[in-house]
Amino acid sequence: MEAAKDRGHEIRTVDYSQISLQANQVFPKLAFKGLENAFLPEFESQREQWADVSAQLFASLHENFPFDLFISPSDTFFYLRDFIRVGQEQGVPTVVLQKETAVAPNAIKTHAAEVKRLLPVMCDHMFVCCDKQQQFWIDSGGVEEKIEVTGQPRFDVYHHPEQVPSWSQLNASFDYNKKVVLFLSYNLNTYAPEDLSTYYATEISKGPSDGPWRQLRDETEDALFRIADNGYTVIIKPHPQQDPSGYIEDLQSRGAGDRIGRSIFLIDPNADSRYLIANSDILVGFQTTGLFEGMIAGKEVIYTHWTDPVIQSEDGLMEFHNEKKAVRVAKSSYDLFQLILNARTKVDDAASVDARKEFYERYLGTCDGNASVRVWDKLERFYRDYCGNDSTKWDDTVANHQSR
C-alpha cells in the first residue's frame, strides 16, 4: 500500500503492539486464547477498564495525527473493537484490509459461525482477496455490499522484484550460495477438525500442545535433517503462534544436533515470509498460504501429504493433494527427501504455470501485482460515499493531505 500510495494522501503506521501490549496489562493471558475467553463473565471489569483505555488511545493517536480513516488488518481482535467503536462514534470510519487469505473448507463451515456469534463484522467496509473470503465474512455477519474483492496487496511484491531485498540485504546469517530449502512450520492442530484435534490432545498425544499433525511434522523434519547433510541450507520459519524456544528444544530432542546454526537455521516467526519465499529455491509446507505464494513466485513447491490423520481430514483441507500439476506432493518422509533432491530450479513451463494460476486464484483471487492500486481506488470511492452530501469534507480532506 505504501509503494502504491502516490495520490497525495498521508499514511501513518501504528505498530499493533502499541495497542496489544496495553491490552496485555489489562487482561489475563487466558483472554487471548481462542475467541470466547475475552467475553467470560469474570472479565467484565477488565472489559470496562479496556473501553476507557481504548478511548484514551484513540484520543492520543488522533491528537498527534488527525486521521480521517482507520485501516486495520482485521476487526476480530477483541482488543481492537473498542478502538474501532470510538472512531465510529467520532466520525472516523474503519476499513478492514483483510489479512486473512486462503480459507480451508473446515473453517468456512465452523469458524464463520463462531466469529458471527462472538465477533461479528463491525467495520464500515472491508476488502478481501477472493470470492471465498467474501463469502466467509458474509457468513461472519458482514453485509455483501460492504465487502469488496480486490486481491491481496501483500502479494503484489512477487510481481515487483525491485521491492524484494536480497539475502545479503536481509543480513542472512546462513550460506545462501547453496540451494536454500524453506520449511514453513505450523502448529500441530492447524485446520484440524475439532473432534480430531481434541482426540489427539487428550487421548493419545504428549499433551495439550500436541495435535494430529505431530507425526507429519516430525517426519517432515526428519527428511530435512537428511537434506541438510546433503549440501543444502535448510531454513525453518515457525508460525507466529509457535514458541520458537520450545521448538528448538523439540528439534534437538529429535536429533537435529549441531546442524542447527550450521546447516539448519530457525528464522524469527515474525519475519516477513514474502522475502524468505522470494529468495528461497524450494518450499516445503502443509496447510499454508505460503505454498500459494511460492507458486506465484515460480518456486518449486512441495506439499506434505501422509499419515492417517491427514488422509482422514483431507476433505476439509485446502486441496493441495489434488493439484499435482501445480505442486509436488510428497507421500512419505523418504518421498519428500527425493523430491527435494530432484527439485526444479525454476517452474516456468506453460502447463505448470497455467495449473498454478487456476489453483491459487481460486483461493487468493487475482494476483497480478496491482491489488494495491485496486484497493486505493476503492478506498477513495468508499470515503467519498461515506462523506455523502457533505462534499466539503472530502474536498477538505484531500486539500489537507496535499498541503502536508
What is the DSSP-derived secondary structure letter of residue 336?
Answer: H
* Helix H or strand E segment including 70: strand 70-72
In this prediction, residues 17-45 reach a mean pLDDT of 94
3-class DSSP state of 185: coil
Stronger pLDDT, 296 or 207, i.e. the higher one: 296
In this prediction, residues 118-141 reach a mean pLDDT of 94
Q: What is the pLDDT of residue 179?
A: 97
Contact 200, 210 (CB under 8 A): yes
Q: What is the pLDDT of residue 402?
A: 44
Cell triple for 299 = 518456486
Reported as a single tens digit per residue, the pLDDT across 307-364 is 999 999 998 899 999 999 999 999 999 999 999 999 998 999 999 999 999 999 999 9
378 exposure class (CB count in 10 Å sphere: 0-12, 13-18, 19+): middle
Q: What is the pLDDT of residue 208?
A: 47
The domains found in the chain, sorted by start residue, are 17-152+367-403 (3.40.50), 159-364 (3.40.50.2000)
Q: What is the pLDDT of residue 390?
A: 56
pTM for this structure? 0.87
Percent of the chain with pLDDT over 70: 91
Q: What is the pLDDT of residue 388?
A: 80
Cell triple for 400 = 489537507
- Give me the sheet containing 300-304, strands edge to edge: 264-266, 233-237, 180-184, 282-285, 300-304, 328-330
Question: What's the pLDDT band for 389 if we cut at 50, 70, 90?
Answer: low
Q: What is the pLDDT of residue 398?
A: 46
Q: What is the pLDDT of residue 396?
A: 55
C-alpha span between 107 and 115 (Å, rounded): 10
DSSP string, 261-289: TTTEEEPPTTS-HHHHHHH-SEEEESS-H
C-alpha span between 311 and 126 (Å, rounded): 35
In this prediction, residues 265-294 reach a mean pLDDT of 96
